[in-house]
Amino acid sequence: MRVKSYTKNYFDALYEIEKEAFSDFWSEKGMKEELALSQAHYYVAEEDGEILGFAGYWLIIDEAEIMKVAVKKQHRGKGIGDALLKAMIEDSVSLGAKKILLEVREGNTPARKLYEKHGFISYATRENYYQGKENAVLYKKNL
Ligand X SMILES: CC(C)(COP(=O)(O)OP(=O)(O)OC[C@H]1O[C@@H](n2cnc3c(N)ncnc32)[C@H](O)[C@@H]1OP(=O)(O)O)[C@@H](O)C(=O)NCCC(=O)NCCS
C-beta of residue 86 within 8 angstroms of C-beta of residue 78:
no
Residue 109 Cβ vs ligand X, minimum distance, rounded to whole Å:
5
115 as an active site residue: the answer is: yes
Q: What part of residues 92-111 is at the interface with ligand X (CB under 6 A)?
A: 104, 108-111
Residue 21 as a binder of ligand X (CB under 6 A): the answer is yes
Q: How many residues lie near ligand X (CB under 6 A)?
A: 20
Q: Of 10, 15, 103, 139, which one is the catalytic site residue? A: 103
Closest distance between ligand X and the C-beta of residue 19, in Å? 11
- For residue 56, give the nearest of 85, 78, 95, 30 by alpha carbon: 85
Compute the least distance from the CB of residue 115 to ligand X, in Å: 8
- Contacting range for ligand X; rule: CB under 6 A; set: 5-13, 56-64, 69-77, 128-136: 69-77
- 122 to each of 17, 96, 103, 115, how far by Cα in Å? 27, 22, 9, 9
Sign, Cα dihedral of 17, 18, 19, 21? positive
Measured distance CA(17)–CA(134) in Å, rounded:
23
Any contact of residue 113 with ligand X (CB under 6 A)? yes
Say whether 6 is catalytic. Answer: no
Residues making contact with ligand X (CB under 6 A): 21, 68-71, 76-82, 104, 108-111, 113-114, 117
- Catalytic residues, by residue number, are 103, 115
